[in-house]
Amino acid sequence: MVPENAIHDECVDRVAALIQAASGIRLSLAKRRRLADLLAVRLPGLGRRGCVAYCDYLRNRADELDRLVAQMTTNVTCFMREEDHFECLREVVWPDLRRRAARRGYRIRAWSAGCSTGEEPYSMAMILADCLEREGGGEPWTLEVLATDLNPDVLRAAREGIFTEERVRRVPPDLLRRFFQRGTGARTGLYRVTEQLRQVVTFARLNLMADRYPAREGFDIIFCRNVAIYFGAQDRLALWKRLAACLAGGGYLFSGHTDGFMGLPWLRRLSPTVYRLADEA
């Protein structure tokens, strides 16, 4: 006997297709099972007719679809994740930006695409702010970090900038002292990003499957890591093309080690996960 709240494969297919169309996320077998469980809880007794009505509802209610998308993604991150990228940021990217500083107006624009709960953009901001403080040369530098994600819940947490001791354990001690406030009393064990650093990072909601991104000026640095693993090959290639189009001449694109980056002729590969756009592009 089929349980009353069993979800038909046809219904899972329909909802999975809507999720992919909205976000680019292709659901693995494990994710599809998770989706079936979510639908069974959310829609007890759902039959084929009910599924059609629910899909119509999803097409007209972006908030409901957003909730499903958020539950299909894994927001696992930490500060200084994939440390070789932050070493590259300090040892390769910063000296290059420093050399080109005058014609770039002493300005650094960076983007964390798929920022989750904020550890990545705050890590980027810390490294770049540290470089500026140590070697900025006294010029009037401006540092701007854009951080975007599709999930409004993780964006709310990211803006707060409050993390447990376990979450900040990879932050070097000197950066932890300078860029975090340590909680006391009822907040013992918590760390909050300083107001000065929070002002550097701007959080915004963005669907990376959008045809175009609202970038008014090119970025010097784009991190898009461990995001493309959710996409099919065609959507993944389209994503890399759109991101590359948002780079300033000489800008750097960082992908995740598991993202399966597809090489683009106008990007020079510096390492398996770091690419640079030509200066004249």
pLDDT digits (tens, 9 = 90+) for 103-121: 888 999 999 999 999 999 9
| Mean of all residue pLDDT scores within the chain | 87
High-pLDDT (> 90) share of the chain, %: 52
What is the phi/psi pair of residue 73, to 5°?
Answer: -105, 155
Strand ranges across the sheet with 267-271: 201-205, 142-149, 107-113, 219-224, 247-255, 274-277, 267-271
User: How many CA atoms, within 13 angstroms, populate the side-chain half-sphere of residue 280?
Assistant: 0
pLDDT given at position 60? 82
Express each pLDDT in 24-75 by its tens digit: 777 777 777 888 887 877 776 555 557 777 888 888 877 778 777 777 776 6
Query: Partners of 205 in the beta sheet?
Result: 149
Residue 267 confidence (pLDDT): 92
- Give the separation between CA 235 and CA 208, rounded to whole angstroms: 10
When computed from its CA atoms, the radius of gyration of the chain, rounded to whole angstroms, is 21
Closest CA to 224 of 133, 131, 145, 148: 148
Instruction: Report pLDDT digits (tens) over 170-194.
Output: 999 999 999 999 999 999 999 999 9
Record the tokens describing residue 237, joined without a space.
């290639």
Does the pLDDT at position 138 exceed 50? yes
Name the CATH superfamily housing domain 83-277: Vaccinia Virus protein VP39 (3.40.50.150)
What pTM was estimated for this model as a whole? 0.83
Instruction: Tell me: pLDDT of 5 over 50.
Output: no
SS3 content of the chain, % helix, strand, coil (to 5): 45, 20, 35
- Confidence class for position 1, pLDDT limits 50, 70, 90: very low
Residues of the chain above pLDDT 70, percent = 93
